[in-house]
Amino acid sequence: MPEKPAEPTDRSAVRSLLRLWPYVRPVRARWISAALVAVLASCLALVIPLVLKWMVDGPVADRDPGGVWLGALYLLLLGIAEAGLFGLRRWLVARPLAGVEASMRADLYRHLQRLPVAFHDRWPSGQLLSRGTTDLMLLRMFLAFPLTFLLVNATTILVGFVILFAQEWSLGLVLLAPALPLMVLCSLFETKYSLVARKAQDQVGDLTTVVEESVLGIRIVKGFGRNRSQALAFRALAQRLRTTELGKARLLAGIWALITVIPELAIGAALVLGTIQVADGDLSAGTLVAFLSTALALRWPVESIGFLLAMSQESATAADRFFEVMDVAEEPEAGTPGEAAGRGSQGLVFEGVEFRYPDAEPGSPPVLDRIDLRIRPGETMALVGATGSGKTTLTTLVPRLHEVTGGRILLDGEDIATMERPRLRELVSVAFEEPTLFSATVGENVSMGAEGAGEQELRRALSVAQADFVHELPQGIGTQVGEQGLSLSGGQRQRLALARAVVGGPRFLVLDDPLSALDVHTEALVEAALRRVLEETTALVVAHRPSTVMLADRVALLSGGRISAVGTHQELLRTNAEYAWLMSGAGDAGVLVSEEGSTR
């Protein structure tokens, strides 16, 4: 899990929630209209005590049945109007706020696509999923209900106390007395609840990660009989989340109890004092009824403060988590243009390239150190090295999945750091050892390698990759391959990934051991077809087996983060002991023993 950002001591829920304004601005007219409608509906409820006062001091005192029925009609109409206005409020906010949520989710997804690979290496997918689902749902709910009713209830309480003081100021002071202790209690509650809310939402992300990994790795879980251990791990995380949620519930129950009891005591005291004033003739019965009715009408706005504050804190935490991701800098499209090394086809050149991962310990040696390598136009270069030597890391630098930390990489004389990424990735196509397929059709997966690729290009790429098995699938090229392509074998997935890499006829091709999952016979067929593709492109191929090395014109040996030798396969076998040792473990005895008569 990523390191949690330290909670700032001056963290403000208001500042966190104000960052939502750019998303709310387009729907502000309907939201403000809905809030005004809700304020009007709530204030109508305060008219009801005034009608009761008129009824008690008028028709009831005068024993006028007609007046009582008229008062009852007024109360009915007020109730209907209040219900209708609240229904109108919900209609006003439902569609636009659903649009706000959709817009935020789309922005988050778009932003995630543009973040550096290093970010995705550090962040578990479950944490990102929870931010794009649970957190955004909380924010929509906040905009639809707590935000509106914080305004509505504050207005209702203000108007209500104006009415109370207008009816009897001395009793109004009694009801106002709990205001200060309630404010102190709410401040303490906010501080504690915000910490617990953040903890709970992070734990939801951890739980989501475990569920996702268990589902995607179900074959490993079942294959090694780890159902019980996975269930225990999930149960431990679920129990931890349950404990945190119970802590939230205790805090909410405590503040709700205090917010309920303290005003009730004040209302009780006002009732006693008011009854004494009525008995002494200083107050009319109708005024006391209206006063108490108004006070009771204010119970919900006051008692809901704890609930609304809790939802606001959870929403502020959700906003913090959302903007934690949105604030991460995207990949730079291109740096300051530098001088090109020249014009025309100059191949792929590494000049003094250095790289260390962003989270590497200070002072630690770089993964790649002063890499100097030139791949001529139309040449295929095999990259060989021991496990962990940095071969895959080097291949990720060409399409700028990672940025070099020193030196530069040139494509036909142009520094890739000055290229816009879309253009760079049109020139460079990649296929990795671990093929990734998406929940889409075979054709859609392959066509990701070249936008707008036609059926002819698609079939050619499938033929090169010896992936003609797709025509035997239930819907042929239109067959859905399922999540991560797990409905296919490893070799089939790798062949589709290779087809995706070559479908656009790229000028530069980067292959990371693309044939590792193929059987010997299929590998031979793919190599034969791939040779024709490699003749038309400049390629860097990570190789672990002599059969793959034989596709290359020359071989570069990567050792200790540096290129230690460059030459043909036969030259390196004769002159470099490390290379000979690496090839001797590759299991192709025929290639190892013979240095004569070999061909590409």
Confidence of residue 60 (pLDDT cuts 50, 70, 90): low
- The number of C-alpha atoms within 13 Å of 513 and in the hemisphere containing its C-beta is 16
- pLDDT at residue 600 is higher than 50: no
Confidence of residue 387 (pLDDT cuts 50, 70, 90): confident
Lowest-pLDDT range, 216-220, 359-363, 441-445?
A: 216-220
145: Cα separation from own chain's centroid: 24
* pLDDT value for 360: 77
Q: Any residues with CB less than 8 A from the CB of 18 and at least 6 apart, and which?
A: none
Lowest-pLDDT range, 215-229, 285-299, 310-324?
A: 215-229
Q: Which residue has the higher pLDDT, 224 or 183?
A: 183
**CA distance readout (Å), 500 to 250, 430, 441, 452, 460:** 55, 8, 13, 13, 11
Mean pLDDT over each residue of the chain, to the nearest integer: 81
Reply yes or no on domain 17-326 having CATH 1.20.1560.10. yes
Q: How far apart are CA 37 and CA 29, in angstroms?
A: 12
86-122 pLDDT, tens per residue?
Answer: 788 778 877 888 888 889 999 999 998 888 888 888 8
| DSSP state for residue 39 in the 8-state scheme | H
Beta strand extents in 418-479 (DSSP E only)? 428-431
Confidence of residue 591 (pLDDT cuts 50, 70, 90): very low
416-440 pLDDT, tens per residue?
Answer: 988 888 888 888 888 877 777 787 8
Confidence of residue 597 (pLDDT cuts 50, 70, 90): very low
Determine contact, residues 52/293, Cβ cutoff 8 Å: yes
- The number of C-alpha atoms within 13 Å of 142 and in the hemisphere containing its C-beta is 27
Residue-range domain boundaries for the chain: 17-326, 348-592
The class level of CATH for 348-592 reads alpha beta
Confidence of residue 549 (pLDDT cuts 50, 70, 90): confident
Average pLDDT over residues 531-544: 85
Transcribe 388-399 into DSSP letters: TSSHHHHHHHTT
- pLDDT at residue 509 is higher than 70: yes
Q: Which residue has the higher pLDDT, 519 or 539?
A: 539
- pLDDT at residue 521 is higher than 70: yes
- pLDDT at residue 5 is higher than 60: no
Give the angle 384-387-390 at the CA atoms, nearest 5°. 70
